[in-house]
Chain A
């Protein structure tokens, strides 16, 4: 009889091997609960962008692990993150995805009022508390603040525990996601487009992250959409004698031959973060790029502009919850709901100071790839669901990450570089970070 406790250090170590991981990582409710406690509720998690809450009282609600939280703009201009819970009887204070709560939070149940930093402001019929243990200065009667809140270039993160490194140190190699996106803006910053698509994935959260930098899947999963886009793209070019809008290429590029994906590479950074280099051709001759380059040159000079545009990144994983595509101005945050259920919150951004045509590129990608009518993610969601179903079966115990295993190159700076863009380095690297978090959590 095995005496290994589920989620113990021995159990975790046995589930993650250098080139394969046990299916229980994706299917076991106890492992899922441990992931939430040891990863999502114990590190920096992306909450939202500062521009989602421009005015005093603007709020946005989301999840950090299992904890419903509110991001709110306070009277002093600060962005606070507080638990979405009234300290009286527990009622959620903000029940919508976003809105404006005025200058206070108000509980709809017994009208307790709180300032925008969560401190108690006033409660009705206060007389009843005379002679009781209730005390307005006691933090247990205030909305609880999360332990740490910080932002990097407008992107707000929070941690439920205080003992985490500062945000920039935590982000490390993933910081470039925000630097690259913001630096591409002539004004050096981005602004959120106030629309969030929320899509439920009926699969484990790790399946989503593993898919993002898997360069063998695009031409197979997305063959139908890619071929359809290619045919229409060619038809438009024949009909008009001009290049079709970049949006068609965005989709047809999914079916590039393998050797093109081979030429790219994946870089693993500390904490499970990853950077996928190569892939997007910005097509400098397109009218919107010509106009954009003119603005960038005037603002930053040709040399700096080239420096900015030569940061050739397609995709960044900010482990454990973010997928960012800086040149396409897209961001997806994932919120694990259960072993086989994941919520994705999908956003896109405007480059401040860039011409409208550059925004239209980002919007096209947002609608064609990331919206609820997507022809691309439709087939991803199907495959992720099929993986999840198969993993629940007893037809096998392991998930294979053998592609180019043992060939990852460790650099002097500690990063790990793949030998090919199609390597399964990203999956191995993320499971390495997963193991670190899970073992550390088990020891505590």
Chain B
């Protein structure tokens, strides 16, 4: 007995799918994010600031890290890239400087059990793009980071992007907002993050 062969009525896979789903949507044509034309000096100044910040984190100098922020500053790690604010919506971190001080005190407490042993990190910051400069010299800066974390025989990898809103002050730049988007922010977490990335 011969098998039954597909007839022309069976059509194509695309026809079969589009009978239920319709045609796929066209791409939105979103513009590229903005990029300011800045001098080499300014570019280097911003990079030095970011390198310094990474060094402070890797050296576990928590008080010095909090001191990089303005008194109204925030450290924000959203769950997804689509979030536009950390105020009133769930985030992984959304800390003002009081909450940052709390985190610093907890990590330094002698009975913070999950700091026995503690963790060590190494940050690399790169792809630094100044997004905008205002008349007062305040900056918005985008960059990428890679952080390797070691704790009790295990190494974890974190990658993502920073977006810094930097305020120009007499004593140098201070952070008004540091946004940190991890590539796996909405993924499943193996353990937690105890300090800032």
Chain A residues within CB distance 8 Å of chain B: 102-104, 106, 111, 113, 122, 124-128, 130-131, 193, 195, 197-200, 202, 221, 223-225, 227-229, 231-232, 235-236, 248, 251, 343, 348, 356, 359-360, 363, 366-368, 371-375, 377-379, 381-383
Q: Mark B101-141, 1 if CB is under 8 A from A, else 0.
A: 11111110111111100000000000000000000000000
Contacts A199-B188, A379-B113, A381-B191 known; 9 new A-B pairs at CB < 8 A: A122-B16, A126-B10, A198-B188, A199-B191, A225-B102, A232-B99, A356-B88, A363-B90, A375-B194
Q: Are A113 and B20 closer than 8 Å at their CB atoms? A: yes
Q: Mark B161-195, 1 if CB is under 8 A from A, else 0.
A: 00000000000000000000000000111111110
> Is B34 in the interface zone, CB < 8 Å from A?
no
> Is B54 in the interface zone, CB < 8 Å from A?
no
- Chain B residues whose C-beta falls within 8 Å of the C-beta of A381 in the assembled complex: 114, 191-192
Q: Are B113 and A373 closer than 8 Å at their CB atoms? A: no
- Chain A residues whose C-beta falls within 8 Å of the C-beta of B91 in the assembled complex: 367, 371
Given the known inter-chain contacts A195-B90, A343-B188, A378-B194, please indicate yes or no for A125 contacting B102, CB distance below 8 A.
Answer: no
Partner of A228, one of B79, B90, B109, B192: B109
> Is B81 in the interface zone, CB < 8 Å from A?
no
Q: Are A348 and B193 closer than 8 Å at their CB atoms? A: no
- Chain A residues whose C-beta falls within 8 Å of the C-beta of B79 in the assembled complex: 195
Given the known inter-chain contacts A228-B106, A356-B88, A360-B88, please indicate yes or no for A382 contacting B113, CB distance below 8 A.
Answer: yes
CA distance A59 to B162 in the complex (A): 32
Most B-side CB within 10 Å, residue of A102, A111, A224: A224
CA distance A211 to B102 in the complex (A): 24
Partner of B106, one of A106, A360, A375: A375
Q: How far is the CB of B10 from chain A (nearest CB, A)?
A: 5
Given the known inter-chain contacts A221-B113, A372-B92, A373-B93, please indicate yes or no for A103 contacting B20, CB distance below 8 A.
Answer: yes
Partner of B13, one of A124, A200, A202, A348: A124
CA distance A371 to B77 in the complex (A): 11
- Chain B residues whose C-beta falls within 8 Å of the C-beta of A202 in the assembled complex: 191
Q: Are B111 and A223 closer than 8 Å at their CB atoms? A: yes
Q: Are B102 and A251 closer than 8 Å at their CB atoms? A: yes
Given the known inter-chain contacts A193-B90, A356-B88, A379-B113, please indicate yes or no for A111 contacting B13, CB distance below 8 A.
Answer: yes
> Is B63 in the interface zone, CB < 8 Å from A?
no
Q: How far is the CB of B66 from chain A (nearest CB, A)?
A: 11
> Is B98 in the interface zone, CB < 8 Å from A?
yes
- Chain B residues whose C-beta falls within 8 Å of the C-beta of A375 in the assembled complex: 102-103, 106, 194
Q: Are B114 and A223 closer than 8 Å at their CB atoms? A: no
Q: Mark B151-164, 1 if CB is under 8 A from A, else 0.
A: 00000000000000
Q: How far is the CB of A185 from chain B (nearest CB, A)?
A: 18
Q: How far is the CB of A434 from chain B (nearest CB, A)?
A: 26
Most B-side CB within 10 Å, residue of A197, A360, A374: A197
CA distance A235 to B100 in the complex (A): 13
CA distance A261 to B10 in the complex (A): 70
Given the known inter-chain contacts A371-B92, A381-B114, please indicate yes or no for A236 contacting B4, CB distance below 8 A.
Answer: no
> Is B84 in the interface zone, CB < 8 Å from A?
no
CA distance A353 to B10 in the complex (A): 53
Which residue on A lies nearest to B83, using beta carbons?
Answer: A195
CA distance A80 to B182 in the complex (A): 34
CA distance A398 to B106 in the complex (A): 33
- Chain B residues whose C-beta falls within 8 Å of the C-beta of A124 in the assembled complex: 10, 13, 16
> Is B37 in the interface zone, CB < 8 Å from A?
no
- Chain A residues whose C-beta falls within 8 Å of the C-beta of B41 in the assembled complex: none
- Chain B residues whose C-beta falls within 8 Å of the C-beta of A251 in the assembled complex: 102
Q: How far is the CB of B13 from chain A (nearest CB, A)?
A: 6
> Is B25 in the interface zone, CB < 8 Å from A?
no
* Interface pairs (20), CB distance under 8 Å: A106-B20, A124-B13, A125-B6, A128-B6, A195-B79, A198-B188, A199-B188, A199-B191, A200-B188, A221-B113, A223-B109, A231-B105, A251-B102, A356-B88, A368-B99, A375-B103, A375-B194, A381-B114, A382-B113, A383-B113
Q: Are A200 and B191 closer than 8 Å at their CB atoms? A: yes
Most B-side CB within 10 Å, residue of A102, A124, A356, A381: A124
CA distance A147 to B192 in the complex (A): 36
CA distance A225 to B189 in the complex (A): 21
- Chain B residues whose C-beta falls within 8 Å of the C-beta of A373 in the assembled complex: 77, 92-93, 192-194
> Is B30 in the interface zone, CB < 8 Å from A?
no
> Is B23 in the interface zone, CB < 8 Å from A?
no
Which residue on B lies nearest to A129, using beta carbons?
Answer: B4
- Chain A residues whose C-beta falls within 8 Å of the C-beta of B99 in the assembled complex: 232, 368
CA distance A195 to B86 in the complex (A): 13
- Chain B residues whose C-beta falls within 8 Å of the C-beta of A198 in the assembled complex: 187-189
Q: Are A127 and B4 closer than 8 Å at their CB atoms? A: yes
Given the known inter-chain contacts A232-B102, A373-B92, A379-B112, please indicate yes or no for A125 contacting B193, CB distance below 8 A.
Answer: no
- Chain A residues whose C-beta falls within 8 Å of the C-beta of B6 in the assembled complex: 125, 127-128
CA distance A195 to B92 in the complex (A): 11
- Chain A residues whose C-beta falls within 8 Å of the C-beta of B92 in the assembled complex: 367, 371-373
Q: Are A224 and B113 closer than 8 Å at their CB atoms? A: yes
CA distance A236 to B1 in the complex (A): 87
Q: Are A348 and B105 closer than 8 Å at their CB atoms? A: no
Given the known inter-chain contacts A224-B113, A373-B92, please indicate yes or no for A378 contacting B192, CB distance below 8 A.
Answer: yes
